Amino acid sequence: MLYALRYAVAARMTLPDDDWRTVLHRLSERVRLIAGADDLLRELQLLGARYEEQQAQVVLDTKRRMADLEELHNANRLVTVGTLTVGMAHEMATPLGVTLARAQMILTDDNDIAEARKDAEEIVQQVKRLTQMCREVLDYARPKPTAKLPVDVVEIVRQMIVLLLPKARERNARVVLAGDPAPTFVLGNSSKLMQIFTNLIINATQAMPSGGTVTIDVETKRLQPPSVHGLPERDYVCVHVRDSGTGIRNADLPHIFDTFFTTKREGSGLGLSVSYRIAREHDGFIDVATVQGHGSTFTVYLPPTR
């Protein structure tokens, strides 16, 4: 600014009036620009200060929200523990009662060895049931990290069909793999995937009171999963487990993957919930289509190896 005034004074002494007025006009414009720049600088400084305040507020709000989410997570965990506890107490009451009753019958049967043997066999079955229930609860409550390798889903299904043949025969049912599917690989844990297919195949045989056929199909197709699963559109290996049983009631359908939900007298209500969680651990999901009186199809969707 001082330099501009000195230049104006010097120009007034050496230049004609018209030229001097031109110089003065230009200097005035520059002065206004400088003053405007000063105002702009002050505005920028104010904006910077406001931005820093807002950033600090965002950080504070984020910390508060994270604390609220953690508190909500802890509350949900307590609710889950409560649900597990109540469910376990309910599910264990029946086999414990049966075990107690049979043990008391053994004590009162003096010489009937045959009856005592039957009672002992029933006790063994009920204890096995309790043991399996405890394992399922532990699997649900304390999931272990899953080591994943390329595994052939078709081969796993074939193995499970052979292993579950005795149980299927008990129900007058048979389990078949449709067609002759080629090896189909996913990135997964074979024992965990076996657990899924074991649960689905056993459920399918139990859904057919008069016996029948459980058909398993394996295919790969591109699809967009329902939004509730939060998964992307891509190729999925689809394993369909189809029965010809009674189907699922509409009232029960929304709850079939809920913990401890079961419609079976001796069911634990954990098989499907554990299976669904395992599928999600493999970046997949399980869905069901059912028609009452005509059976159900449970489908496991898993991303193939690249």
Residues 126 and 266 in one domain: no
State residue 130's pLDDT score.
Answer: 74
Residues 44 and 130 in one domain: yes
Q: What is the CATH number of the domain that holds 160?
A: 3.30.565.10
Q: 222 forms bridges with which residues in the sheet?
A: 235
149: Cβ–Cβ under 8 A, 6 or more apart, which residues? 187, 188, 189, 190
Let me know if 110 is exposed, middle or buried by CB neighbors in 10 A (0-12, 13-18, 19+): exposed
Cα distance between residue 224 and residue 230, in whole Å = 10
Residues 263 and 171 in one domain: yes
Total count of domains within the chain: 2
Residues 131 and 86 in one domain: yes
> Is 257 in a helix, a strand, or coil?
coil
Residues 31 and 135 in one domain: yes
**201 has a pLDDT exceeding 60:** yes
State residue 4's pLDDT score.
Answer: 47
More confident residue, 143 or 290: 290
Greatest Cα pair distance in the chain: 141
| pLDDT (tens digit per residue) in 105-121 | 777 766 577 777 777 77
Give, in order, the Cα–Cα distances in Å from 141 to each of 144, 152, 246, 259, 274. 10, 28, 31, 11, 10
> Is 8 in a helix, a strand, or coil?
helix
Cα distance between residue 294 and residue 291, in whole Å = 5
pLDDT grade for 5, boundaries at 50, 70 and 90: very low
DSSP state of 15: S
Domain's final residue, options 142, 173, 208: 142
Residues 13 and 137 in one domain: yes
44: Cβ–Cβ under 8 A, 6 or more apart, which residues? none
Residues 165 and 218 in one domain: yes
Residues 133 and 160 in one domain: no
pLDDT grade for 2, boundaries at 50, 70 and 90: very low
Residues 49 and 129 in one domain: yes
State residue 235's pLDDT score.
Answer: 94
Domain's final residue, options 142, 161, 184: 142
Give me the percent of the chain exceeding a pLDDT of 90. Answer: 23
Domain that holds residue 24: 1-142
Residues 229 and 280 in one domain: yes
| pLDDT (tens digit per residue) in 86-95 | 566 656 666 6
State residue 69's pLDDT score.
Answer: 67
